[in-house]
Chains A and B, each alone.
Chain A
Amino acid sequence: QLQLQEAGPGLVKPSETLSLTCTVSGDSINSSTYYWGWIRQPPGRGLESLGTIYYTGSPYYNPSLKTRVDMSVDTSKKQFSLKLSSVTAADTAIYYCARHIVMAASAIDLWGQGTLVTVSS
């Protein structure tokens, strides 16, 4: 069954780097039809995209987070990853990995279940 699964620490200390990985199962990550992306949602608040990445490794980052975000893709492992540096309490959120349809203005047709990351000492 096609699905995305996030993995990574649920607790990160302030000023450190948040690292998450998303594993794609049931389908190929090497598709020109899709981007792969990360979206977050602070508790009780709305959705924010951190960025997207193509299977070739070309990233597109949210300008408001650009200096702190790094995304990569490992096609051999069918995984893509997120690193967010210099985190603060404001980065506490549910982090979702997602599949975006390139030709549909990046509509997201597949979401991971989400993982809560808390920034606290």
Chain B
Amino acid sequence: SYELTQPPSVSVSPGQTASITCSGSKLGERYVSWYQQKPDQSPLLVIYQDIQRPSGIPERMSGSNSGNTATLTISGTQALDEADYYCQTWDTPTVVFGGGTKLTVL
């Protein structure tokens, strides 16, 4: 089965850039989505098809995907960005999620 690997935690200072990685075999050949989940809330789609932002998602959230690694980048990180982030792709016949990364804004 296909696996996606994320670091358990990432820390960033307010105003700085946070990068959250997601690794998988030849991941660059697949589309990747990213979700933000705050405590006691359902996940929220923030990036799909590697680089696309849904309506309402701020431009400071961006994505990239190449080789074996996809990256979610949050520029000018704010306290409200503190959350768990999950990457996701499709590996027939199922949806695959990474284990999640807790982003802490110190």
Contacts and interface: CB of A to CB of B under 8 A. Distances in A.
Contact of A46 (B30, B32, B52, B97): B97
B23 interface: no
A111 B42 contact: yes
Interface residues of B, number: 27
A46 B45 contact: no
B96 interface: yes
B58 interface: no
Given A109-B54, A111-B42, A111-B43, A49 B94 contact: yes
Instruction: Please classify how large the interface on chain A is, using the bins under 10, 10 to 19, 20 to 34, 35 or more.
Output: 20 to 34
B88 A108 contact: yes
A112 B42 contact: yes
Interface string B24-56: 000000111101000000111100110010100
B95 interface: yes
A62 B94 CA distance: 5
A49 B96 contact: yes
A111 to B, nearest CB: 4
B35 to A, nearest CB: 7
A49 B95 contact: yes
Contacts of B94: 49, 51-52, 60-63
B66 to A, nearest CB: 16
Q: Is the interface of A mostly helix, strand, loop or mixed?
A: strand
Contact of A108 (B35, B49, B96): B35
Contacts of A61: 93-94
B45 A108 contact: yes
B48 to A, nearest CB: 4
Interface string A1-37: 0000000000000000000000000000000000001
Interface of B: 1, 30-33, 35, 42-45, 48-49, 52, 54, 86, 88-90, 92-100
6 contacts: A47-B86, A49-B96, A63-B94, A105-B32, A108-B33, A108-B95
